Amino acid sequence: MSVLSFIITAFIVVIIAAVAEKLSPFSMPGSWAGLIIAGFIGEWIGGVIFGPWGPMVWGISLIPALVGAFIVIFIVGLFADLFK
């Protein structure tokens, strides 16, 4: 993976994670760095659970990545609210 493809992928997963954060009742701690981490983990989880289906951008299946990022943000946000 080149640096340019990593930057483009990070930009895409930040957008996906930001949308998932707006849909979630919890917010992701860590601002944009937390969104990048949630996006990459969500993309991986969504790909494992749902596989590659739906629209794809730069090799990322958008719907499974969105659902995976929502799951990650929900779980992390829930734990963050519990331990405030």
- Total domains in the fold of the chain: 1
Range of the domain at 66: 3-82
Which tens digits make up the pLDDT trace of 46-69? Answer: 989 988 888 888 888 899 999 999
pLDDT score recorded for residue 66: 93
pLDDT score recorded for residue 59: 86
Task: Report how far residue 76's alpha carbon sits from residue 16's, in angstroms, rounded to the nearest whole number.
Answer: 16
Split at pLDDT 50, 70, 90, the class of 14 is: very high
pLDDT score recorded for residue 12: 92
pLDDT score recorded for residue 48: 92
Within 8 A by CB and 6+ apart from 24, the residues are 70, 73, 74, 77
State the pTM of this model.
0.88
